[in-house]
């Protein structure tokens, strides 16, 4: 497989068709059959601390790369403008380092969000105090 066609859906169907990237913005998820042809479902969460989905001229891009390390095929590729771009195989050590990096990025994202909430709470409390509520 060299390309994926974008299909926006409310919910990802139970049975996936090859060559299609199903994207549910309602549920923040993208799904497709593995690009290697093994037939396994690949489902990725979308969001600022997960995979980023963009669309240009009806062609999907997901980043970062898709690394199917838990599947027997261990395929690794990028989906850019609907095209499958194959990436090199990773060693077990690289996979672990990649997972640690994802965890660090996720923790940093949520820590920043918590700091933002504290800042807004302080502003709200100051405004309430200012207006005597």
**What pLDDT digit, counting tens, does each position of 94-119 carry?**
888 888 888 888 888 888 877 777 66
Q: Specify whether 99 is located in the same domain as 75.
A: no
**pTM of the entire structure?**
0.77
Question: What is the rounded average pLDDT of the residues 17-36?
Answer: 97
Q: Specify whether 55 is located in the same domain as 82.
A: yes
Q: What is the pLDDT of residue 114?
A: 78
More confident site: 107 or 82 = 82
More confident site: 69 or 133 = 69
Q: Specify whether 72 is located in the same domain as 110.
A: no
For every residue of the chain, DSSP letters joined together read --B-EEEE-SS--SSPPTTEEEEETTTTEEEEE-TTSS--EEEEEBSTTSBEEEEETTEEEEEEEEE-TTSTT--EEEEETTEEEE-----HHHHHHHHHHHHHHHHHHHHHHHHHHHHHHHHHHHHHHHTT-
Q: Specify whether 85 is located in the same domain as 96.
A: no
Give residue 95's domain range.
91-133
Kindly report the average pLDDT of the chain as a whole number. Answer: 89
Q: How many domains does the chain divide into?
A: 2
Q: Specify whether 13 is located in the same domain as 45.
A: yes
Q: Specify whether 74 is located in the same domain as 95.
A: no
Q: Specify whether 70 is located in the same domain as 103.
A: no
Q: Specify whether 48 is located in the same domain as 97.
A: no
């Amino acid at each position: 497989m060299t390309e994926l066609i974008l299909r926006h859906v409310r919910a990802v169907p139970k049975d996936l068709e090859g060559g299609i990237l199903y994207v549910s913005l309602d549920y923040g998820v993208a799904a497709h059959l593995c690009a290697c042809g093994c037939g396994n479902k690949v489902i990725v969460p979308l969001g600022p601390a997960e995979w980023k989905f963009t669309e240009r001229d009806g062609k999907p891009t997901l980043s970062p790369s898709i690394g199917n390390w838990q599947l027997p095929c261990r395929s690794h590729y990028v989906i850019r403008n609907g095209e499958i771009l194959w990436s090199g195989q990773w060693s077990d050590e690289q996979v672990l380092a990649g997972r640690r990096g994802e965890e660090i990025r996720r923790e940093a994202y949520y820590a920043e969000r918590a700091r933002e909430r504290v800042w807004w709470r302080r502003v709200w409390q100051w405004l309430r105090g200012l207006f005597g509520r």
